[in-house]
């Protein structure tokens, strides 16, 4: 079936609906939704039951870049400066040196065990060098597994900021493979320009965006997310136009915007959260349509070999070397190594060599696709087990999301949090009046056995109760955790 104007909306809506249902079932099996979205796309493709023929690389790349803009921007908006500040150094090293080391180790291995040249091997290594921790946290949440200490912000910072480095290496090595007369030293000025321009423009445009959003005074609240989309698109394209790294710029700009007070901040954040999910689904479906399953079969052997090397050798070596000068325990380094899932980003980056006409680009694309899928299946399904085995897991106690659709003023400094009472906590069996709750916080509701009850001072806490706590600020929420004898990680 060929896509036409008449049937594209029907087909697209059906694929979106099926993908959402498939993604919902993934929580039961502990498999990231990425796999299900890709499978739906492949089933709808030219070699699947949908028989939709799609091989337009330029369109697929456009969808990929557009989707990555929204995904990175949304991730930046959700990044709290207070949480990443203590791990800023280690996160930055992992997202730069870690990506570079992964590229080198994988590239050398591919060069030694295949017929690829050294540059082609390094290109493949660069494409698969970035990680996708978003899939990790969806699995951990589905299994109610939290992480100790600063592991979560470290992984969030790395996954949110390592795509720019992987993108730069992919573009650079693609250029070197096509034009092998080009000197390696010639790429150094471009690298410096991309990082400096990307960083400076991102921060400056983030500051300017906050001022524009707060001063423009639009008549309709619904126009503010549209305004932010326009700013996001301008930041990326302008940075790329002047030679900077657009992905780095929009991520930093989003972090700046998300950590400052802006008009209708809650509605903007909610819009981008939903739109980022839509972009992820569209991206995975597009990549699923683009791949031909029959082309994957011949590279399964070499793909599995490279994937295992990357998981067992390249990623751990990169993490241990990158974190050698930081106070991180070995078990935490091992878990960070295991969390190096490859998602949709490497598949998007694999389209660049295809469009550039690299000789082995088709084989590289198929190998990258297999590596991404095998990484998610192997590492994704074993994450909760690995977290417990390495003793870095704790029961997930706090989800800073409200199950109720509460509309609070943007000026209200409040924290709304769900707190799960673990069975082994000393407050089990106590009345709320005995807890010594701070005056700046209240227990609004208690969820017990699937039902919400309104508590009072005589309400006795039971194991696995879910407390809906409203506090004035994060300090008040910290006091709540102290009263409940729960340590928040």
What distance lies between CA 423 and its chain's CA centroid? 31
CB 68 within 8 A of CB 247: yes
Burial degree of 305 (CB within 10 A; 0-12, 13-18, 19+): middle
The DSSP H or E segment spanning 134 is helix 134-142
The DSSP H or E segment spanning 393 is strand 393-395
116 token code pair? 């690829």
Distance CA 440, CA 479 (A): 9
pLDDT tens readout for residues 94-137: 999 999 999 999 999 999 998 899 999 999 999 999 887 556 65
pLDDT under 50 in the chain at which residues? 397-413, 489
Measure CA of the first residue to CA of the last residue in the chain; give whole Å.
51
CATH fold label, 8-395: Na+/H+ antiporter like fold (1.20.1530)
**Strand order of the sheet with strand 451-453?**
398-399, 415-420, 466-471, 441-448, 451-453
pLDDT at 377: 81
Distances (CA, A) of 1 to 40, 45, 285, 317, 371: 16, 9, 16, 46, 29
437 token code pair? 């709750």
Dihedral pair phi/psi, residue 446, rounded to 5°: -125, 125
Distance CA 397, CA 27 (A): 18
pLDDT tens readout for residues 265-286: 888 988 998 888 788 788 878 8
Q: With the C-alpha atoms ordered 15, 17, 23, 28, is the resulting torsion angle positive or negative?
A: negative
Taking alpha carbons only, the member of 331, 427, 451, 457 closest to residue 387 is 331
pLDDT at 141: 54
pLDDT at 105: 96
The DSSP H or E segment spanning 135 is helix 134-142
| Identical topology for domains 8-395 and 398-483 | no
Burial degree of 464 (CB within 10 A; 0-12, 13-18, 19+): middle
What is the domain partition of the chain in residue ranges?
A: 8-395, 398-483
Distances (CA, A) of 257 to 154, 254, 274, 280: 20, 5, 18, 22
For the domain made up of 398-483, the CATH class stated in words is alpha beta
Specify the residue for token string 């005995």: 434
pLDDT at 309: 95
Question: H helices within 379-483, ranges in order?
Answer: 381-389, 474-483
31 token code pair? 């498999």
Taking alpha carbons only, the member of 435, 436, 486, 428 closest to residue 461 is 428
Give the predicted TM-score (pTM) of the model: 0.75
pLDDT at 3: 55
Distance CA 42, CA 423 (A): 44
C-alpha neighbours within 13 Å on the C-beta side of residue 123: 30
Burial degree of 9 (CB within 10 A; 0-12, 13-18, 19+): exposed
pLDDT at 489: 45
Strand partners of residue 417? 469
pLDDT at 407: 46
Distance CA 3, CA 358 (A): 28
Phi/psi-derived region of residue 49, left when phi > 0, alpha when psi is between -120 and 50, beta in every other case: alpha
Distances (CA, A) of 19 to 26, 37, 82, 208, 277: 11, 5, 35, 38, 11
Dihedral pair phi/psi, residue 95, rounded to 5°: -80, -10
Distance CA 391, CA 79 (A): 26
Taking alpha carbons only, the member of 397, 415, 398 closest to residue 406 is 415
Distance CA 278, CA 325 (A): 39
pLDDT tens readout for residues 436-447: 888 888 888 898
378 token code pair? 């192997």
pLDDT at 181: 76
CB 346 within 8 A of CB 102: no
CB 347 within 8 A of CB 130: no
CB 287 within 8 A of CB 347: yes
pLDDT at 263: 86
13 token code pair? 């809506």
């Amino acid at each position: 079936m060929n896509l036409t104007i008449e049937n594209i909306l029907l087909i697209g809506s059906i694929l979106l609906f099926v993908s959402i249902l498939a993604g919902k079932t993934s929580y039961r099996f502990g498999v990231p939704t990425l796999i299900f979205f890709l499978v739906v796309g492949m089933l709808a493709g030219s070699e699947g039951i949908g028989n939709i023929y799609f091989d337009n690389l330029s369109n697929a790349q456009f969808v990929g870049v557009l989707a990555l803009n929204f995904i990175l921007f949304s991730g930046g908006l959700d990044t709290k400066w207070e949480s990443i500040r203590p791990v800023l150094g280690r996160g930055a090293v992992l997202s730069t040196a870690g990506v570079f080391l992964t590229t080198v180790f994988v590239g050398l291995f591919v060069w030694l065990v295949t017929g690829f040249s050294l540059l082609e091997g390094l290109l493949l290594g660069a494409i698969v060098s970035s990680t996708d921790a978003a899939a990790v946290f969806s699995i951990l949440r589905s299994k109610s597994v939290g992480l100790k200490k600063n592991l979560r912000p470290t992984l969030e910072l790395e996954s949110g900021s390592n795509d720019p480095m992987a993108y730069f290496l992919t573009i650079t090595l693609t250029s070197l493979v096509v034009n092998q007369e080009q000197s390696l030293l010639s790429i150094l000025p471009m690298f410096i320009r991309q990082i400096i321009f990307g960083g400076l423009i991102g921060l400056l445009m983030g500051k300017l965006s906050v001022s524009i959003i707060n001063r423009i005074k639009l008549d309709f609240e619904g126009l503010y997310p549209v305004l932010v989309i326009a700013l996001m698109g301008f930041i990326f394209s302008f940075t790329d136009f002047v030679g900077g790294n657009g992905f780095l710029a929009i991520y930093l700009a989003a972090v700046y915007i998300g950590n400052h007070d802006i008009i209708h901040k809650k509605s903007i954040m909610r819009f981008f959260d939903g739109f980022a999910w839509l972009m992820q689904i569209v991206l995975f479906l597009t990549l699923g349509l683009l791949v031909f399953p029959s082309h994957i079969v011949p590279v399964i052997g070499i793909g599995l070999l490279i994937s295992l090397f990357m998981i067992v050798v390249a990623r751990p070596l990169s993490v241990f070397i990158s974190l050698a000068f930081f106070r991180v325990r070995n078990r935490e380094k091992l878990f960070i190594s295991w969390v190096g899932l490859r998602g949709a980003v490497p598949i998007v980056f694999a389209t660049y060599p295809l469009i550039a006409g690299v000789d082995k680009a088709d084989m590289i694309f198929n190998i990258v696709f297999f590596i991404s899928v095998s990484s998610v299946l192997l590492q994704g399904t074993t994450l909760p087990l690995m977290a417990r085995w390495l003793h870095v897991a704790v029961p997930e106690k706090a989800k800073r999301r409200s199950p109720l659709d509460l509309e609070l003023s943007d000026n209200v400094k409040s924290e709304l949090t769900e707190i799960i009472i673990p069975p082994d906590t000393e407050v089990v069996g106590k009345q709320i009046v005995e807890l010594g709750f701070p005056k700046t916080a209240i227990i609004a509701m208690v969820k017990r056995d699937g039902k919400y009850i309104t508590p009072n001072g005589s309400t006795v806490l039971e194991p696995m109760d879910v407390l809906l706590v409203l506090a004035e600020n994060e300090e008040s929420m910290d006091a709540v955790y102290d009263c409940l004898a729960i340590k928040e990680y």
